[in-house]
């Protein structure tokens, strides 16, 4: 689990102490007449530093957390929270939750997750890798990162700074079914934002890396140079005429497409009948070469978890198999609304792996970023999206964008001040390829996505 001796780690001691407080809170809830109760607490501590043009901009130390309790009484629900874990404060918080429950409406779908679905033991997923680092060391790492960008090209004349964040923490969850589980975790990130200039033209861009294990972060020099390269590549953008063209979403942007898909198959939107993918279970949503697997138990991964925020055990799932939708994403409440069973997605998804079966037959080199540009041929490469013009009810999609015009498989020039539009259902079916240039910075591991045609509005 960790490179540190568990017996000497104060955070692990705090985790055990909080487990005791959670158990006490559950006892108090029962004594006050709650039919059922659940208690969750998370705590985060760490260091964040920022530099700009070689000067320290900020140094922040974090140590916070709060305990939240929800009680159920005869179909009614009440919730309250506290940062004070004394017995007196716990009692007051639980009393507040019980009193709130008296005034809420009866809802037969509310309540704890079914006991047989719970994770009574927290599987160790190797998520905890604390880094012993002092303020001076952190500042130096950020300075090196930023200076690397400034030194890489004379056109990098200004900076919005570099930031280093090192955080550790834990989550504890317990309920009146007898479940009491928790685990520690860590998260480290390094980023740099710089401004490139050419004449009167200026462009800003960034680079970053994030990992559970500090030793696996890209170096500050690498991140700084990448930030500079991204900013310079955007200088002197062109405007496009309005037209319909194929569009390639770079891998770090492609996850937004899957994000809209997540919203469309989430239980909350489904039981409210506010999704364009109502009754889509078992139907072809994507081309048959597209598959999405969920793997919640990958060691060290950013979205790994042994249980969801309701304590339900997470498990491997096929979300999309050869283009067909295999499951919705349900919490206990939304599952009851739909007459189904929770899928363990309270709180979000857990490590999605997006795959194109053509890669397996042709080899990953045939679908790397350069190969995806060749497949695009002539069209638009999107590297930035702006605005929130997506309607999950009917699938209409319209967002501001910037990126590059591609001709004959080669990047020709940067473009800006354009809007791309379409409909998500058609966009999903219009995927031509998913690349092997996987972005692993979040909960969705995806390559670039090539869509056959979208409306591009320019000048």
Q: How is 161-190 classified by DSSP, letter by letter? A: EEEEEEEEEEEEEEETTS-EEEEEEEEEEE
In a structure prediction context, what are the per-residue pLDDT tens digits for the chain, which is 459 residues long? 444 445 579 999 999 999 999 999 999 999 998 999 999 999 999 999 999 999 999 999 999 999 999 999 999 999 999 999 998 999 999 999 999 999 999 999 999 999 999 999 989 999 999 999 999 999 999 999 999 999 999 999 999 999 999 999 999 999 999 999 999 999 999 999 999 998 889 999 999 999 999 999 999 999 999 999 999 999 999 999 999 999 999 999 999 999 999 999 999 999 999 999 999 999 999 999 999 999 999 999 999 999 999 999 999 999 999 999 999 999 999 999 999 999 999 999 999 999 999 876 566 566 899 999 999 999 999 999 998 899 999 999 999 999 999 999 999 999 999 999 999 999 999 999 999 999 989 999 999 999 999 999 987
Residue 15 corresponds to which tokens in the numbers above? 């985790």
Degrees (nearest 5) of the Cα angle 38, 43, 46?
A: 170
- Cα(164)–Cα(15) distance, rounded to whole angstroms? 25
Pairwise CA distance, residues 379 & 251, whole Å:
16
Interacting residues of 116 by C-beta distance below 8 A, sequence separation 6+:
none
> Who contacts 170 (Cβ-Cβ below 8 Å, separation ≥6)?
11, 14, 15, 18, 42, 43, 182, 183, 184, 185
> How does DSSP classify residue 329?
B
Cα 431 from Cα 111, distance rounded (Å): 40
Check: CB of residue 159 under 8 Å from CB of residue 142: no
- Picking from 113, 39, 115, 35, the residue whose alpha carbon sits closest to that of residue 75 is 35
Give all domains of the chain, ordered by start, each with its CATH number.
6-233 (3.30.2290.10), 243-457 (no CATH)
Structure tokens belonging to residue 19: 């487990």
The total of other beta-carbon atoms located within 10 Å of residue 143's CB is: 20
| Dihedral angle, C-alpha 296, 299, 300, 306, nearest 10 ° | 40
Q: Give dist(CA 155, CA 149) in Å, integer.
A: 10
C-alpha to C-alpha distance for 445 and 319, rounded to whole angstroms: 14
Q: What phi and psi values does residue 451 have, to the nearest 5 degrees?
A: -110, 140
pLDDT of residue 182: 96
pLDDT at residue 1 in the model: 45
């Amino acid at each position: 689990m960790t490179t540190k001796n568990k017996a000497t780690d104060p955070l692990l001691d705090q985790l055990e102490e909080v487990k005791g407080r959670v158990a006490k809170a559950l006892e108090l809830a029962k004594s006050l007449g709650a039919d059922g109760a659940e208690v969750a607490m998370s705590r985060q501590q760490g260091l964040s530093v920022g530099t700009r043009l070689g000067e320290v901009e900020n140094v922040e130390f974090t140590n916070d957390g709060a305990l939240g309790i929800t009680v159920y009484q005869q179909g009614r629900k009440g919730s309250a929270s506290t940062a004070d874990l004394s017995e007196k404060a716990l009692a007051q918080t639980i009393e507040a939750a019980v009193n709130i429950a008296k005034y809420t409406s009866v809802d037969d779908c509310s309540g704890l997750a079914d006991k047989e679905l719970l994770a009574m033991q927290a599987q160790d997923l190797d998520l905890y890798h604390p880094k012993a680092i002092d303020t001076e060391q952190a500042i130096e790492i950020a300075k090196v990162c930023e200076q690397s960008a400034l030194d890489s090209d004379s056109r990098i004349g200004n900076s919005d700074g570099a930031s280093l964040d090192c955080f550790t923490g834990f989550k504890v969850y317990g309920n009146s079914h007898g479940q009491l589980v928790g685990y520690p975790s860590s998260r480290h990130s390094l980023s740099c934002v710089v401004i490139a200039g050419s004449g009167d033209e200026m462009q800003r861009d960034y680079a970053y890396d994030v990992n559970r294990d500090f030793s696996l972060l890209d170096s500050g020099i690498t991140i700084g140079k990448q930030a500079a390269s991204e900013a310079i590549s955007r200088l002197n953008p062109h405007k496009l005429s309005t037209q319909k063209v194929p569009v390639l979403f770079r891998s770090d942007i492609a996850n937004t497409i899957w994000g809209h898909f997540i919203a469309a198959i989430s239980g909350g939107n489904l039981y409210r009948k506010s999704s364009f993918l109502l009754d889509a279970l078992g139907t072809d949503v994507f081309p048959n070469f597209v598959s999405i697997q969920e793997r919640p138990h990958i060691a060290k991964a950013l979205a790994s978890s042994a249980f969801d925020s309701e304590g339900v055990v997470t498990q491997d799932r096929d979300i999309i198999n050869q283009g067909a939708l295999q499951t919705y994403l349900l919490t206990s409440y939304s599952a009851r609304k739909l007459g189904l069973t929770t899928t363990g997605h309270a709180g979000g998804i857990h490590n999605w792996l997006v795959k194109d079966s053509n890669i397996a037959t042709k080899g990953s080199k045939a679908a790397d970023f350069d190969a995806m540009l060749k497949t695009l041929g002539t069209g638009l490469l999107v590297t930035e999206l702006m605005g929130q013009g997506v309607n999950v009810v009917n699938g209409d999609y319209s967002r501001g964008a910037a990126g590059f015009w591609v001709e004959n498989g080669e990047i020709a020039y940067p473009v800006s001040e354009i809007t791309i539009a379409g409909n998500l259902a058609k966009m999903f079916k219009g995927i031509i390829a998913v690349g092997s240039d996987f972005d692993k910075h979040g909960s969705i591991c995806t390559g670039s996505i090539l869509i056959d045609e979208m409306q591009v509005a320019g000048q």
